[in-house]
Amino acid sequence: MAERVSKGDGELDRDTAVTLRGPGVYDATLSAGWSVGNAAVHGGYLLALLGRALGDQLPHPDPFTITAHYLTASRPGPAVIRTETVRTGRTLSTGTAALVQHDAEGNEVERVRVLASYGDLDALPDDVRTAAKPPEFPPVEQCLGPEDAPDDRPAPGSPLHERLRMKLDPATLGWALGAPSGRGEMRAWFGLADGRDPDPLALLVAVDALPPTTFELGFTGWVPTVELTAHIRARPAPGPLRVSVTTRNLAGGFLEEDAEVWDTADRLVAQSRQLARVGLI
Amino acid sequence: MAERVSKGDGELDRDTAVTLRGPGVYDATLSAGWSVGNAAVHGGYLLALLGRALGDQLPHPDPFTITAHYLTASRPGPAVIRTETVRTGRTLSTGTAALVQHDAEGNEVERVRVLASYGDLDALPDDVRTAAKPPEFPPVEQCLGPEDAPDDRPAPGSPLHERLRMKLDPATLGWALGAPSGRGEMRAWFGLADGRDPDPLALLVAVDALPPTTFELGFTGWVPTVELTAHIRARPAPGPLRVSVTTRNLAGGFLEEDAEVWDTADRLVAQSRQLARVGLI
């Protein structure tokens, strides 16, 4: 592991900065550094950006449960976030956020709509009453990232990969060798490339960062997210996260991807589920 | 099984009827028949009501993914639903809905906020690419409902129970006998009491209908839903549904409840996850 930067001072912090323009309205710039291939901006990064704006707008700091519907593909460049406070309670507050951009003709196009309830993770009692255990993971040294691809198989060159430090469990890497496992599973060690420790914003990136489980189910195409809901359950301890994604039901051209994120203290810090579409061949 | 009524003609249809009052605005009456104890109106019924209004407003009929944030407790009586169409696409459309009531002083209070994407279940291909199997269920004759409680342990008299035909797996009924299993599991056969066959609206009721998993984890209190997201994955076949709910993580006073709903054709027709609060003792 290389150098570390502080929370508040990393690439994710810089690229999710928002500027209050008027009541509930923020200016933002979608960074090309978080785009996938040459196409859209990464959904987890967008979720972190919207999550940050809502954290600024609402009286509570942390996204306890946040749902995003991805409407159209976001492009690097300027964007506006419009928030609405739905309700302010003692321990939870609820709000919405809409991310909009302008198309080539200058028309406003909505990219993402979010609905979320926020609280204060530090105000929660520390008890854990259930016995869920992290999934089995090989040590990070035995896991593989894009930079480990053999020279004759160049890794796909997404700018996103330079922002993340992600090492996949070889047991879920069959797809990269042309031998998908047939199981709807994907597992990886996850960190930010600049060494910044994880926080709730980083968890919002982590839940949507792994290759789609469809790769291990034998499909190679793009798998756009329709909707993603993440529950942030605890503030993560420093160090790399373990992310496990599973799919039980690929049917009718849609699938769910369930992610669990575990921290170095073996605590389940985030759970998410997304509904995605797959172009069946 | 008793008589059957047709879809469109049952208690759920009658009690989720909405009347268009103006552009995107509907009048509704929350039926006391779906209340829990003497307290709030049932969350799954509210979800079905809001889901029906959105199905009327949006160009697509079926809720593919619907998220509700429960803000304040709903009461039987008049309510207004305000919808907004966020985006209309070829295969999916997205909208929001807000359920509001008036308090004793005449002030408007928002009860539930919903964000959802709708499509057409009948337009999906019929393929199922994964091998998920329904959980093991005893035959319905070996499962138990409130009406099977011994005479000296009167069943809790929620009006809701007269709308549903629900039979719990005895393996998840330890709590009712003072011997909770300690496992975060709840399973039940589920139908509407008037014999109306299930449809997507009934699935929205089913995902929130079982006793909370916390009962089997040894907690007896009320478990209010903060947020619930349901994915409707297929139109259910006629006949009783099997609903299985699991909890992996009860921590810091919050828990998730994951529900799967299977139809008589052994198809996974709905998946849901809710974030709920528990009053820890």
Residue A183 Cα distances to A139, A274, B130, angstroms: 21, 18, 8
Q: 1.10.3720.10, 3.40.1050.10, 2.60.120.10, 2.40.160.210: which CATH number matches B11-122?
A: 2.40.160.210
CB distance B211 to B194 below 8 Å: no
**Residue-level pLDDT at A132:** 84
**Percentage of chain B lying above the pLDDT 70 cut:** 95
The helix/strand/coil state of A146 is helix
Least CB-CB distance to B234: which of A132, A247, A251?
A251
Would you place residue B221 in the very low, low, confident or very high pLDDT band (cuts 50, 70, 90)? confident
CB contact (8 A) between residue A248 and residue B229: no
Taken as a whole, chain A contains a residue count of 281
Is B251–A127 a contact, with Cβ atoms under 8 angstroms apart? Answer: yes
Cα of A276 to nearest chain B Cα, Å? 10
Residues forming beta bridges with residue A117, ordered by sequence position? A65, A94
User: Long-range contact list for A142-149, CB < 8 A, 24+ apart?
Assistant: A142/A170, A143/A167, A143/A168, A143/A169, A143/A170, A143/A188, A143/A189, A144/A168, A144/A170, A144/A173, A149/A176
User: Above pLDDT 90, what percent of chain B?
Assistant: 83
What are the chain A neighbours of B129 within 8 Å (beta carbons)? Answer: 217, 250-251, 280
CA distances in angstroms from A138 to A141, A171, A188, listed in the order given: 8, 9, 9
CA distance A269 to A199: 10
Selection from B29, B30, B28 nearest residue B19 by Cα: B28
Q: Which residues of chain A have pLDDT under 50?
A: 1, 281
Interface check B190 vs A, CB under 8 A: no
A229 to chain B, any CB pair closer than 8 A? The answer is yes
Q: How many residues does chain B have?
A: 281
Domains A11-122 and A140-277 in one fold: yes
Alpha carbon distances (Å) from B147 to B144, B164, B168, B272: 8, 11, 11, 27
Cα–Cα–Cα angle for B181, B184, B186, nearest 5°?
A: 85
Q: CA B238: distance to chain centroid?
A: 18
- Alpha-carbon gap, residue B147 to B150, rounded angstroms: 8
Per-window interface: A 170-189 vs B, CB < 8 A: 184
Query: Minimal Cα–Cα distance from B232 to chain A, Å?
Result: 10
Give residue limits of the domains in chain A: 11-122, 140-277
The DSSP element (H or E) to which A190 belongs, if any, is: strand A185-192
Tell whether A272 lies on the interface with B, counting CB pairs under 8 A: no
Residues in Cβ contact with A177 at an 8 Å cutoff, skipping those fewer than 6 apart: none
In the block, tokens 């009501």 appear at B49
Answer yes or no: do B130 and A67 touch at CB < 8 A.
no
Say if A113 is an interface residue toward chain B (CB within 8 Å): yes
pLDDT of residue A281: 44
Assembly ipTM: 0.95
pLDDT tens for A31-71 read 999 998 767 899 999 999 999 999 999 999 999 999 999 99
CA A152 to chain centroid = 30
- Spatial distance between the Cα atoms of A14 and A95, rounded to a whole number of angstroms: 23
A254 and chain B: CB distance < 8 Å anywhere? Answer: yes
pLDDT by residue (tens digit) across B11-26? 999 999 999 999 999 9
Among candidates B203, B237, B233, which has minimal Cα distance to B119? Answer: B233
Q: What is the pLDDT of residue A232?
A: 98
Number of cross-chain residue pairs from A and B with Cβ atoms under 8 Å apart: 167
SS3 state at B229: strand
| Rounded Cα distance, A104 and A152, in Å | 39
Distance from C-alpha of A196 to C-alpha of A10, rounded to nearest angstrom:
6
What is the CATH number assigned to the segment(s) B140-277?
A: 2.40.160.210
- Residue with the larger pLDDT of the pair A225 and B5: A225
Of the candidates A119, A121, A56, A55, the one whose C-alpha atom is nearest the C-alpha of residue A90 is: A119
